[in-house]
Amino acid sequence: MNEIESKLTNQADFLCEEMLINQTSCYLIGMNSLVDFPKSKLYIQQMVTDCNSTVQSIVISISDQINVSKEEAINAVLEGKLVIVTSEGVIAVINPVSQNLNRSIEEPKNESPIQASMNAFGEDININVGLIRKRLNTERLQHLSYQTGNLEKRKISMLYIKGHAPDTLIDNVKQRLEGIKYDIETIDDLNKQFEHRRLSPVSHLSPTELPIQAIHALKKNRIVIFIDNYPFALIFPNLVWDMLSAVNDRNFPFVLTCMLRVFRVIGALSTIILPALYVALVSVNPGIFRTDLALFVAKSREGIPLSAFLETILMVVIVDLILEAITRLPKSVGPAITMVGGVILGQAMVEAKLVSNLLVIVITAVVIASSAVIGMQNSLYIRLLKYPILILASFFGILGVCAGLIFTLIYLASLESEDISYLTFYIEPEGES
C-alpha cells in the first residue's frame, strides 16, 4: 500500500481512507474525482452487514479482481476503480459507485430529425450501445470491444448484424481496430488506421448522432463504431448515398421522399457548379447568352474593377469565413452577428462596385444549396470541391466546368474503403454475389 501511495500521492484527487470490516482494518484507495467515496463505503458496509464470513471472503465476493499486482492496482485506480487493501495482504479491485461525469440522453444538436425519435448519442459508450440494443433486441447483433492508447486509454466498440455485413468487411475492420497502437484523439486518427489518404477530403467514416440512422446503417449491411467520450456513431464505410438519403425521409410518401432526395442532388451540384458557371459565362463564354441577357449581365458589372474570377473568389472565401464563424462563435450571438455582418458587408461591396448584384444572388444560392446535403462533414467537402472547378472555368470556360465535373467524378470513384467504392449505393449482404 505504501508503494501505491508513493506513486500516486502527488495527485491532488488521490484518496486513501481506512475502514473497518468485521473489526479488521482495511484501506480504500481511489481517485475522488472518479469515485463517489461516501456511496461506495455505504455499499461495502451493506455487503458486510449481509454477510458474516471472513474479511477475505467478503472482499472476494464483492471484487472483480483479487490478488492483483502493484502495477495493476495503480492502473485500476487511474481507470476510476476502487482498490481494497486488507491487513491480511489481500489486494482487490472492485467497481465502485462512480461520480456522475456523463450527460443524460438529450436531443440531437447537430442533426434535425423530422417525425422521428429525438434521442441522441452521448459520451458514455455503454449508453450508446444500449440505445442500439434497445431497438435491435436480436442475438444477431454482435458487439466487440477494444481498448486502445497509452496515455489516453479509450474503449472502442464495433457493432454489426451477423449475416448482413460481409465477413470480409468484418474481418478487415477487426484487424484494423486490433492493430491500433497509439492514442485515438480525433476521428482523423481512426481514419489513418483505415489508410485514409492524407489529402483526401472524404472520410472513411460517416458520423451521426441519431440512433435510428445508425440502426438503419446496420440493417444496410454496414458496421457501426463507437469511441468512448465521443457522442457520435461512426458508420463504416462512408458512401455517397449518406449525404443524399436519411432514414427519416421514408416517414413521408414515396413521391415526397424522391423529391427531397432530388433536391439534395440539385443542392450538391449547384454548390459545385454555380460559381464556376458564373465565371465561365461572364468572362470566357459570354456569347452563349442571348443579346438582351448579355446586355443585362454587362450592365450589372459596369464599373467593377475586378475580373469575374477575382470577384467570385473574393465572395466565395468571405462566405466560407462567415459560415465558419457561425460554427465557432457562441450560439447566443453567433448567428445574429454573422447574419448582420454578412448582409451589411454584401450590401457595402455592391454599393462600392467591388462585386455585381448578379454574383451576390449566385453566392446566396450556393450557401443555401450547400446546406441541403446531409451532414456537416459532407457539406464541407462539397464546398471544397467548387474551388478547383472554379479555377478551371476561369481558364477554359464551359469546357473547364465540364472537365472539372468529370475529374471530380473520376476522383470520387477512385476512393475506396476496404475495397468498397465510395460511389457504391448498396453493399451486398453476406451470402449474395
Whether 331 contacts 110, CB under 8 Å: no
Peptide linkage before 237 cis (omega within 30 of 0): yes
Q: What is the pLDDT of residues 156-191, one digit of tens each?
A: 999 999 989 999 999 999 999 988 888 888 888 888
Residue 261 confidence (pLDDT): 93
**CA dihedral sign, ordered 85, 91, 92, 98:** positive
For cell 450508446, what's the residue? 128
- The per-residue pLDDT string of the chain (433 residues; one tens digit each, 9 = 90 and over) reads 777 777 877 788 888 888 877 777 788 888 888 888 888 888 877 777 666 666 667 777 777 777 788 888 888 888 888 888 877 777 888 888 777 777 777 788 778 777 777 888 988 888 899 999 988 888 889 999 998 878 778 889 999 999 899 999 999 999 999 888 888 888 888 888 888 777 888 989 999 999 999 999 999 999 999 998 889 999 999 999 889 988 888 888 999 999 999 999 999 999 999 999 999 888 888 877 777 777 877 787 888 888 889 989 998 998 888 888 777 777 766 667 767 777 777 788 888 888 888 888 898 899 889 888 988 888 899 999 999 999 999 999 899 999 999 999 999 999 988 889 999 888 877 655 4
> Minimal CA–CA distance to 304: which of 348, 349, 345?
349
Q: How far apart are CA 409 and CA 402, in angstroms?
A: 11
